[in-house]
Chains A and B, each alone.
Chain A
Amino acid sequence: AQSVSQHNHHVILSEAASLELGCNYSYGGTVNLFWYVQYPGQHLQLLLKYFSGDPLVKGIKGFEAEFIKSKFSFNLRKPSVQWSDTAEYFCAVNTGTASKLTFGTGTRLQVTL
């Protein structure tokens, strides 16, 4: 069965600092990968997704992620965070034969002024 690990549970950064959130998955076949963001009190919104092609994916709000197949990783990055990026971030995966998404436990990002 597929699974997703997010090792950073709570990250605190100052504004303008660079961000990298780790995501590793366990599945040996074809995968589709997603990062979702949940702002306080809101529902999940898609940041970016990877299906195939260029392993460096650019999403909304300046976020990007890199798919490294050999490391089973899909880390999320942003060069310079803003206070408004304070939120919870979820990595998710689904395999090529299933439509259900499996989520990681999430990383809470707190950006301080």
Chain B
Amino acid sequence: DAGITQSPRYKITETGRQVTLMCHQTWSHSYMFWYRQDLGHGLRLIYYSAAADITDKGEVPDGYVVSRSKTENFPLTLESATRSQTSVYFCASRGSEAFFGQGTRLTVV
């Protein structure tokens, strides 16, 4: 089925650990995005990618790393998780409009 999928849906990790959130889309959209959603802040852009091997920082990139070796995948890595990175993370891909994944609820303890 066409769409955008994120995994895992829920994740609990410890402070200092590395964790990777996966995002996969089947439309071959060029643009992909990672947002975090926090109460009172709405959605804030972490990183985005215009095409394979092209990535750029958004509003809140510190502590995150992305890669885009294939058009359909856009993983987000927290190199050393901190409690402030507890959030809900949404991946999106964009053609004429943006489509969002179901989100990953990440808790850093």
> Using a CB–CB distance below 8 Å, which chain A residues touch chain B?
6, 34, 36, 42-46, 49, 90, 92, 99-106
B90: chain A residues at CB < 8 Å are 43-44
Interface pair A99/B42, CB less than 8 Å apart: no
CA distance A99 to B41 in the complex (A): 21
Interface pair A90/B43, CB less than 8 Å apart: yes
B50: chain A residues at CB < 8 Å are 99
B44: chain A residues at CB < 8 Å are 103
Nearest residue, chain B, Cβ from A104? B42
* Residue B74 is within 8 A (CB to CB) of chain A in the complex: no
Most buried by B among A49, A100, A105, A106: A100
Nearest residue, chain A, Cβ from B45? A100
Q: In angstroms, how far is the closest chain A Cβ from the Cβ of B87? A: 14
CA distance A6 to B99 in the complex (A): 21
> Using a CB–CB distance below 8 Å, which chain B residues touch chain A?
31, 33, 35, 40-45, 48, 50, 58, 90, 92, 94, 97-103
Interface pair B43/A103, CB less than 8 Å apart: yes
B33: chain A residues at CB < 8 Å are 100-101
CA distance A104 to B50 in the complex (A): 22
Q: In angstroms, how far is the closest chain B Cβ from the Cβ of A39? A: 12
Nearest residue, chain B, Cβ from A44? B100
CA distance A92 to B43 in the complex (A): 10
CA distance A17 to B12 in the complex (A): 41
B100: chain A residues at CB < 8 Å are 36, 43-45
A101: chain B residues at CB < 8 Å are 33, 45, 92, 94, 98
